[in-house]
Amino acid sequence: MDLIEKSKKYLWLPFTQMKDYDENPLIIESGEGIKVKDIHGKEYYDAFSSVWLNVHGHRKKELNDAIKKQLDQIAHSTLLGMTNVPATELAEKLVEISPKSLTRVFYSDSGAEAMEIALKMAYQYWQNIGKTKKQKFIAIKNGYHGDTIGAVSVGAIDLFHQVYGPLMFESYKIPVPYVYRHPSENAEICRDECLHELEQLLKEKHEEIAALSIESMMQGAGGMILMPEGYLSGVRELCTKYDVLMIVDEVATGFGRTGKMFACEHEGVEPDLMAAGKGITGGYLPVAVTFTTEKIYEAFYDDFQKFKTFFHGHSYTGNQLGCAVALENLRLFERDDLVNQVAEKSEYVKELLEELKELPHVGDIRQLGFMCGIELVLNKETKEPFPFEQRVGYKTSLKMRELGLLTRPMGDVLVFMPPLVSTKEELKEMLKIYKQAILEVPVKEAEYFAGANA
């Protein structure tokens, strides 16, 4: 049996309708720089950083060497009741680069777990300090925080989450400031309305609310929804005013992705809890982290028999190989002044995206640093979307695959999230492929739609 047949016979892939996979199988064999190569030798730009992870490109020598060096010491020992060398060094480094309110790190293996941990910490914090009525959460509509049940409970993408409804704990959902689809189309009006709605809820319910969870500056999986200026800091002010903890999800936006080390720095926001993952190891190994404040940490610090311990952990928490490569990743960030590089190059990306905006069926383009979404619509004037069943985003991305580029859309929002080291030349080449695919697929699909409805 060849590999493709084996993959169809034995595997079940995440977030994948396997019927789609069977029609369009793909097996990656190697990578170099910002490209990956499949088993037939065809090369692709990794324009979504292998789902938002990759930082320095693939097979980066320094990262490879860091893992090899750590392997010669030890691969893994537990973090339950003890620690290890790289996990400790990394903790110091992480606290150093994070917003200054955040002084403690708790490791896990994925972004969803880091969020799950933040939620449990927030919940138990209020229990530990005797404010036991504070048990509920506020979430943002259209938000995404990962796929474990707790993370899904504060997520709100109907397509992903509806089916699990009965399994989730309830949370209050407030609207996201989605300017492009707001009746006013005005960023400030849209922002102020959303903040007003949040304040109404807080006024009424704050005594029963433990925390609010929010993606930082940009909703990712919900379709790259960029929050208007002043929104995240407005949410911070309201959380403080009503004594509700603010959990910021930086899993997608953290580690330089948006042109700051963490996206909440764009608005000087200091969260009470912050989840990060994805780029932390440069896209190499599964490490994630929940940051918190000394105040929250201290609410758990007591004699054992007081039952204030945080009862949570995973087998591979603080894995040495992962922490070693994360440390080297952060060293490269400094050495290459990478965050400023991204900030600078994202101006260039902006210029290139301006050109795409002129294309037919490109309704809206949203960008923060190297995190970009291109929303395709049937009708640019009315913003009418393509019918869901027509799968225009999916088909456009398949076209790009044919043209030698990998990305994965959210509905009809095309994603452009290249590795942070991408050069101007590479950024230009990649966006050329987007342009070509957009000129071919959505146009054809619109004609088909018109024909079918004639």
Please identify, among the stretches 107-115, 133-141, 307-315, 322-330, the one whose residues bind ligand PLP according to the rule CB under 6 A: 107-115
Among 31, 57, 111, 419, binds ligand PLP (CB under 6 A): 111
Residue 428 labelled as part of a binding site: no
Residue 110 labelled as part of a binding site: no
Nearest-CB residue for ligand PLP: 111
- 371 contributes a contact to ligand PLP by CB under 6 A: no
Among 86, 150, 234, 277, binds ligand PLP (CB under 6 A): 277
- 36 contributes a contact to ligand PLP by CB under 6 A: no
Kindly give, in sequence order, each residue whose CB lies less than 8 Å from that of residue 277, ignoring residues fewer than 6 positions away: 110, 111, 114, 251, 254, 287, 288, 289
- 116 contributes a contact to ligand PLP by CB under 6 A: no
> Which C-beta is closer to ligand PLP: that of 31 or that of 155?
155
Residue 236 labelled as part of a binding site: no
Please identify, among the stretches 138-146, 296-304, 376-384, 411-419, the one whose residues bind ligand PLP according to the rule CB under 6 A: 138-146
Residue 302 labelled as part of a binding site: no
Residue 249 labelled as part of a binding site: yes
Find out whether 366 and 226 touch, Cβ atoms under 8 Å. Answer: yes
Find out whether 407 and 370 touch, Cβ atoms under 8 Å. Answer: no
Find out whether 433 and 414 touch, Cβ atoms under 8 Å. Answer: no
Among 49, 70, 108, 110, binds ligand PLP (CB under 6 A): 110
Residue 278 labelled as part of a binding site: yes
Among 154, 252, 368, 371, binds ligand PLP (CB under 6 A): 252
Kindly give, in sequence order, each residue whose CB lies less than 8 Å from that of residue 415, ignoring residues fewer than 6 positions away: 47, 48, 224, 372, 373, 374, 407, 408, 409
Enumerate the β-bridge partners of residue 138: 172, 212
- 144 contributes a contact to ligand PLP by CB under 6 A: yes
Residue 291 has what DSSP assignment? E
Euclidean distance between CA atoms 385 and 128, whole angstroms: 48
Q: How far is the CB of 147 from ligand PLP (least distance, A)?
A: 6
Find out whether 170 and 135 touch, Cβ atoms under 8 Å. Answer: no
- 256 contributes a contact to ligand PLP by CB under 6 A: no
Give me 222's structure tokens: 């919900």
Euclidean distance between CA atoms 322 and 280, whole angstroms: 9
Cα angle vertex 418, ends 105, 45, to 5°? 130
Please identify, among the stretches 75-83, 197-205, 245-253, 355-363, the one whose residues bind ligand PLP according to the rule CB under 6 A: 245-253
Kindly give, in sequence order, each residue whose CB lies less than 8 Å from that of residue 140, ignoring residues fewer than 6 positions away: 156, 173, 174, 175, 176, 213, 214, 215, 219
Among 249, 270, 412, 445, binds ligand PLP (CB under 6 A): 249
- 117 contributes a contact to ligand PLP by CB under 6 A: no
Euclidean distance between CA atoms 218 and 220, whole angstroms: 6
Give me 42's structure tokens: 């065809």
- 223 contributes a contact to ligand PLP by CB under 6 A: no
The annotated binding site for pyridoxal 5'-phosphate is made up of 111-112, 249, 314-315
Q: Which residues bind ligand PLP (CB under 6 A)?
A: 110-112, 115, 144-146, 215, 220-221, 249, 251-252, 277
The annotated binding site is made up of 111-112, 144, 249, 278, 313-315, 408
